[in-house]
């Protein structure tokens, strides 16, 4: 069996993960590689429940919230990530278990325990951690997208999330300064992918 590659995009809300992921996917496809793009929370029943939670997080406990993200990931790993890795594909995922450690960590759960409870999930070959000051990312969300902040995106909370992300030190993590112009962010991402994966 061949072995594919798993690349996770991580970071606080408003850092441009989704756009950067699509751009990298197009670039890699242009090189003739087979690329699968995916995201968490997924569209499973757990993911749908999580999206309802965005509107009112007080409707469940931090433990219940964590369990929803874990169940959603378990499905994602079993149904997509493991089979596609086994088929030799390159998978780009918009968020993975570092988001759980950072966000549910900020919600009061222990990040070390969260990592331990994610041990079923394959360790990514590369994590592109997009970094940005939470004030800037929130301004981008509000002005750029014209969106209301959801419950996962409040400033105080997002600062805590950013602090957790800043503390992670796994060797698979590459930090990318997402406050640069988007084209420069993409250039740095491509350079990082080339040197770390190929």
What residues line the site for ligand TYD (CB under 6 A)?
A: 13, 40-41, 69, 94-95, 99-100, 103-104, 152-153
- Hey, how many other C-beta atoms are within 10 angstroms of the C-beta on 186? 18
Provide the token pair at 178: 């997402």
Report, in Å, the least distance between residue 146 CB and ligand TYD. 14
Closest approach of ligand TYD to the CB of residue 88, in Å? 25
Structure tokens at 19: 């756009």
Q: Residue 15: how many CB atoms within 10 A of its CB?
A: 26
Nearer to ligand TYD, 103 or 168 (CB): 103
Q: Which CB, 44 or 99, lies closer to ligand TYD?
A: 99
CB of 13 to ligand TYD, least distance (A): 5
71 in Cβ contact with 46 (< 8 Å): yes
Residue 13 or 188 with smaller CB distance to ligand TYD: 13
Asked if 129 contacts 10 with a C-beta cutoff of 8 angstroms, the reply is: yes
């Amino acid at each position: 069996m061949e072995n594919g590659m798993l690349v996770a995009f991580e970071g606080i809300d408003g850092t441009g993960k989704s756009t950067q992921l699509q751009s990298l996917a197009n670039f890699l496809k242009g090189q003739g590689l087979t690329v699968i793009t995916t995201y968490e929370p997924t569209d499973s029943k757990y993911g749908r429940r999580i999206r309802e939670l965005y509107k009112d997080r007080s409707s469940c406990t931090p433990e219940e919230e964590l369990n929803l993200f874990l169940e959603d990931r378990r499905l994602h790993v079993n149904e997509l990530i493991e089979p596609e890795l086994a088929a030799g594909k390159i998978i780009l995922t918009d968020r993975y278990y570092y988001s759980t450690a950072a966000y549910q960590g900020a919600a009061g759960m222990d990040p070390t325990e969260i990592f331990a409870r994610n041990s079923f999930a394959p360790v990514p070959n590369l994590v592109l951690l997009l970094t940005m000051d939470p004030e800037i990312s929130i301004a981008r969300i509000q002005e750029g997208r014209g969106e209301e902040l959801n419950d996962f995106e409040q400033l105080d909370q997002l600062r805590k999330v950013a602090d957790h992300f800043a503390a992670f030190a796994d060797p698979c993590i590459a930090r990318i300064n997402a406050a640069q112009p988007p084209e420069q962010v993409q250039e740095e991402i491509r350079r990082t992918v080339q040197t770390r994966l190929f």
